[in-house]
A and B are shown apart, each in its own frame.
Chain A
Amino acid sequence: MGLTLQGKVVIAGKAQGSALVSRDPLSFWGGYDWKTGEIIDRRHPLSGFIAKGRVLALPFTRGSSTTTAVLLEAIRAGTAPAAILTTDIDFFFALASVVADELYAAPLPLVVLTEEDFATLKTDDTVEVLSNGEVNIQR
């Protein structure tokens, strides 16, 4: 089954990957191991999953202001998600992507979906993110 969602571009870019979805926000500091791409917040439903190369869908970040620094390390180390989908513009994710663009010319695609569209996403969907904010889903 195919489905196309129109999201709002925060940082434009193309990406493809298998979806990893949670409705629970996550702090990357203490929540994301940038050396491996594993989600390590033991209180989070995605604990133990490897997000490297996947399309990560989280409503927004929580807690620590170090989330940006951890995501930037992951982008540099090649352990970041392929793209991140949120339900609101997340300043912390966006900054990591902007700085990665300025330092390494490697921005991470970020797209905002409405709550309703976000709710249609399922882990293991095959997701393609386009530069215009279009999100194509195959399951």
Chain B
Amino acid sequence: MPLTLSTRDQEMLHGAHGEAAKIAMTIVTRMAEVSGAKELLDITGAHIDSTVYIGDAGLEFAERLARLGAKVAVPTSLNVSGLDEHHWKEWAVPSDWARQAYRQMVAYQSMGTVPTWTCAPYQTEMRPSFGQQVAWGESNAIVFANSVIGARTERYPDLFDICCAITARAPAIGLHLTENRAGQLIFRLQDIPTVLQQSDDFYPVLGHFIGKHTLDKIPIIDGLTVIPNEDHLKSFGAAAASSGGVALFHMVGITPEAQTLEAALQGNHPTQIIDIPLNQLRESRRELTHTNSTELHMVVLGSPHFSLAEFKRLAPMLRGKRKHPDVKFLVTSSRAMTQLAQKAGYLGDLESFGAQITVDTCILTSPMLPETIQNLMTNSAKFAYYTPGLLNKKIAFGSLQDCVNSAVAGRILRDESLWA
């Protein structure tokens, strides 16, 4: 069946709403046809991942839209940029690269967007509500919006998110539609000690495992004996969206569309039931470490961007301590969250510990690390997953406490007792 367009869609397609809207609608409709949509639907929010500077093609796309007067038609947050605008000179960012990345920031800001510059827009005032139709980019944000909030977005790539924001339309496909949100695979936790489930490093490890075994399906996780907090779910989703293409998960009794197992399945039969014993999770945890050495140059926290609650948790761990002089300790977050943490009094402990904060960007999207930094440690499965390929550096994964202990000791230390 061919794609049916509204009168306004057709006007846009023919240029009645300006040249930028015409390009955006052309891309939206071509992709709607590719994906077999019968119609477009209204969206009331967007999150733009295209802000990340990759190269000249992405910049040309942004500047062309901006030059043609593109304006977003719905409230729109912006993902991380390539640059910490005010602090990039303290790092190894080449100045010509910084100029290009800055041009891309300016282009997207000129379209009437909100410069949130964060990969965790769901922890800002731009957080969508249950059932809201949105067009979001950034894999960790997509999976959080769909799963933890119950907002509805497809797994939209860079460049498409902005087209949806300009037209306020998206193809009526995939996770926008109730019937496509049913869980498909069931993962059952088997005899996983509650004390391990309370540990912050349990969730990225579980997410890494589930992403790898789910790929692009919708997993249901059953058998948790604790209620994870929002940052646990954030790290879980980010991990599952890195090792797999997970855009929606259900946790029975925890996430909003999974009050019960039956609700999560929408009455369907699961295609597979997979039991997860502890030894498989141990193996997943090992996979996240990509080094044989205990040498350490830098600890990186904040992928996805650190929340206020995470700053609050970190501060007392650092109190009265000082990092090893040869190790850098970096937290990445948004400028808004950092200001809140400042006002709440959490940053004093970070400063006296010797921690640095980078805002608006991410070590994975900004060429900020010098050659001298080769061995990293993180509490993020997403960082751990992407660092070897994107940065060509060694990475070790540990809990937040492991990261702090290692930064003090000057070498990688991990508490194995919970995983034994």
Contact = CB atoms under 8 A, between A and B. Distances in A.
B326 interface: no
Contacts of A63: 139, 211, 241-245, 385
A88 B158 CA distance: 20
B56 A89 contact: no
A66 B241 contact: no
Nearest to B55: A73
The size class of the interface chain B forms with chain A is 35 or more
Contact of B157 (A34, A43, A92, A102): A92
Contact of B158 (A40, A42, A60, A66): A66
Contacts of A102: 23, 26-27
Interface stretch (B28-36, B312-320, B411-419): B28-36
A98 interface: yes
Contact of A94 (B31, B52, B390, B392): B31
A77 interface: yes
A94 B256 CA distance: 32
Interface string A91-111: 110111011101100000000
B409 interface: no
A77 B58 CA distance: 12
Interface in B194-214: 211
Nearest to B392: A40
27 contacts: A25-B245, A34-B54, A40-B389, A41-B389, A42-B290, A62-B215, A63-B241, A63-B242, A63-B244, A64-B242, A66-B49, A66-B158, A67-B157, A68-B158, A69-B157, A69-B159, A72-B57, A72-B61, A76-B57, A76-B60, A91-B155, A91-B156, A91-B160, A96-B157, A98-B30, A98-B34, A103-B64
The size class of the interface chain A forms with chain B is 35 or more
A65 B137 contact: yes
A99 B54 contact: no
B94 interface: no
Given A62-B216, A66-B54, A99 B245 contact: no
A102 B60 CA distance: 12
Closest 5 interchain pairs by CB?
A68-B157, A73-B55, A76-B57, A30-B389, A69-B158
Contact of B139 (A34, A60, A64, A95): A64
Most chain B beta-carbon contacts within 10 A, residue among A42, A60, A95: A95
Most chain B beta-carbon contacts within 10 A, residue among A63, A89, A96, A102: A63
Given A62-B216, A66-B158, A95-B31, A103 B54 contact: no
Nearest to A25: B215
A11 interface: yes
Contact of A91 (B55, B138, B157): B157
A29 B26 CA distance: 25
A25 B214 CA distance: 12
Contacts of B58: 69, 72-73
A31 interface: yes
Nearest to B138: A65
Nearest to A70: B54
Contacts of A51: none
Contact of B31 (A27, A66, A91): A91
Contacts, number: 128
Given A91-B31, A95-B159, A42 B389 contact: yes
Interface string B14-31: 000000000100110011
A55 interface: no
Given A42-B388, A65-B155, A66-B49, 4 more contacts: A25-B245, A30-B386, A64-B386, A99-B61
Contacts of A64: 139, 241-242, 386
A62 B244 contact: yes
Interface in B60-98: 60-61, 64
A135 interface: no
Most chain A beta-carbon contacts within 10 A, residue among B34, B137, B388: B34
Nearest to A40: B389
Interface in B106-153: 137-139, 142
Contacts of B50: 69
Contact of A72 (B34, B49, B159): B159
B390 A10 contact: no
Contacts of A61: 245
A121 interface: no
Contact of A76 (B56, B156, B386): B56
Contacts of B49: 65-66
A23 to B, nearest CB: 11
Contacts of A29: 386, 390
Given A64-B242, A69-B50, A103-B64, A11 B389 contact: no
Given A65-B137, A65-B139, A77 B55 contact: yes
